[in-house]
């Protein structure tokens, strides 16, 4: 393969002209390759027609397995060890979910970073659901490593395509700390709510998401679980909050302040993202919800491998004290790659796996 210097199809844009000139020169298809490809297609067509007729050219070509045949290779089983799951996944040839590992990534040292609008999140949401699903595997494994002042911990979430969810924990270098076990579905209402807004405009997505899963929480003290508030109480609290924000705005504050609603949404979305790495529609919904939060900042950049990433940052004031946190997502798939908050950094390595290889 050489490079074409003739420049066919020249355009008025120099960078496009350059790209056209640099296109690898490809020889015309070899006649035997064309015959073989055509014969294979006809054989498939004949089979589809229910007939046994095979074009005469078919006999000249060796049997070529179908695409499906090539992909249906058996895989060995992996032990129920979370720490070994990622290694086993690679060893048996699982598919990546379209992004590199983040276990050792330096996503925070992006080589380029440009502040952009929240519409980038909508773009990512669109591309996440439009991205072709990886054919291999029937589950998504998300191995996460948390580094903080308390040490380093590794755990894993396994999202089966059939909706089941497993989790486990392990300590690096100390063998299994816990095998994967089927978990309860406490996040399920949140994930369902996100999925339901996967195609809504950001503001509508935010409103719907909040109403679905958070309205009942707003009247509670933060971070407690001492009983659910009634819908009426929640609405009243929301109204009070809205009045507070309006008063702040009227007083000439420097832009919109974080609200309790958005604090709750942000925290919930961050939690949900970790549980959404296996479902593009959920990721799309969460991104649209985030795009509806005015206080977030969005930065577009690339990681040190050149892959586009989006950093979403926010400052919460849950107790009147500002607390900044951010997540980094893959710009194309919306898959969560890392979270930073306080002194904690969590990185995520996401792969497609065969569930039976992991959970037996």
* Residues numbered 284-343 forming contacts with another protein, rule: CB under 8 A: 302, 304-308, 331-332
Question: Is 188 a binder of another protein (CB under 8 A)?
Answer: no
Comparing CB distances to another protein, the nearer of 212 and 302 is 302
CB 247, min distance to another protein, A:
38
Instruction: Kindly give, in sequence order, each residue whose CB lies less than 8 Å from that of residue 276, ignoring residues fewer than 6 positions away.
Output: 191, 194, 282, 283, 286, 336
Comparing CB distances to another protein, the nearer of 262 and 330 is 330
Instruction: Write out the H or E segment, with its range, that includes residue 231.
Output: helix 231-250
Instruction: Kindly give, in sequence order, each residue whose CB lies less than 8 Å from that of residue 328, ignoring residues fewer than 6 positions away.
Output: 102, 107, 108, 309, 310, 311, 312, 336, 337, 338, 339, 340
Instruction: Write out the H or E segment, with its range, that includes residue 247.
Output: helix 231-250
Scan for tokens 């067509």, then name that residue. 45
Is 143 in contact with 170 (CB distance < 8 Å)? Answer: no
Question: Is 357 a binder of another protein (CB under 8 A)?
Answer: no
CA–CA dist 225, 135 (Å, integer): 41
Please count the residues of the chain: 360
Question: Is 132 a binder of another protein (CB under 8 A)?
Answer: yes
Question: Is 226 a binder of another protein (CB under 8 A)?
Answer: no
54 to 83, contacts with another protein by CB under 8 A? 55, 64, 66-67
- Exactly one of 80, 108, 113, 127 binds another protein (CB under 8 A); that residue is 127
CB 88, min distance to another protein, A:
10
CB 354, min distance to another protein, A:
14
Question: Is 252 a binder of another protein (CB under 8 A)?
Answer: no
Question: Is 13 a binder of another protein (CB under 8 A)?
Answer: yes
- Which span (26-34, 173-181, 186-194, 207-215) binds another protein, by CB under 8 A? 26-34
- Exactly one of 105, 157, 262, 263 binds another protein (CB under 8 A); that residue is 105
CA–CA dist 273, 257 (Å, integer): 24
133 to 152, contacts with another protein by CB under 8 A? 134-135
- SS3 category, 66: coil
């Amino acid at each position: 393969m050489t490079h074409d210097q003739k420049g066919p199809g020249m355009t008025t844009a120099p960078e496009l002209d350059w790209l056209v000139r640099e296109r690898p020169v490809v020889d015309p298809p070899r006649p035997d390759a064309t015959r073989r490809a055509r014969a294979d297609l006809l054989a498939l067509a004949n089979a589809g027609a229910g007939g046994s007729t095979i074009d005469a050219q078919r006999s000249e070509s060796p049997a070529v397995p179908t695409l499906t045949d090539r992909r249906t290779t058996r895989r060995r089983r992996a032990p129920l060890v979370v720490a070994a799951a990622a290694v086993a996944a690679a060893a048996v040839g699982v598919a990546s979910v379209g992004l590199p590992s983040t276990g050792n990534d330096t996503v925070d040292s992006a080589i380029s970073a440009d502040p952009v609008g929240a519409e980038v999140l909508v773009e990512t949401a669109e591309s996440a659901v439009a991205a072709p699903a990886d054919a291999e595997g029937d589950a998504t494994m998300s191995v996460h490593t948390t580094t903080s002042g308390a040490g380093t911990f590794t755990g894993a979430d396994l999202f089966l395509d059939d909706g089941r969810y497993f989790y486990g924990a392990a300590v690096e270098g100390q063998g299994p700390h816990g095998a994967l076990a089927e978990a309860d579905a406490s996040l399920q209402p949140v994930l369902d709510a996100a999925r339901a807004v996967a195609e809504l405009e950001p503001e509508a997505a935010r409103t719907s998401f909040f109403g679905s899963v958070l309205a009942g929480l707003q009247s509670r003290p933060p971070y407690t679980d001492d009983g659910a508030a009634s819908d009426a109480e929640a609405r009243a609290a929301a109204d009070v909050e809205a009045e507070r924000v309006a008063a702040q705005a009227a007083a000439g504050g420097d832009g919109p302040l974080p609200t309790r609603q958005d604090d709750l949404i942000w925290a919930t979305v961050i939690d949900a993202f970790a549980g959404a790495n296996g479902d593009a529609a959920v990721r799309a919904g969460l991104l649209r919800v985030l795009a509806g939060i005015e206080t977030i900042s969005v930065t577009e950049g690339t990681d040190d491998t050149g892959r586009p990433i989006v950093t979403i940052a926010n400052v919460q004031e849950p107790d009147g004290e500002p607390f900044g946190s951010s997540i980094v997502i893959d710009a194309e798939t919306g898959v969560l790659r890392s979270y930073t908050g306080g002194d904690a950094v969590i990185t995520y390595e996401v792969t497609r796996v065969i569930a039976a290889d992991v959970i037996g």
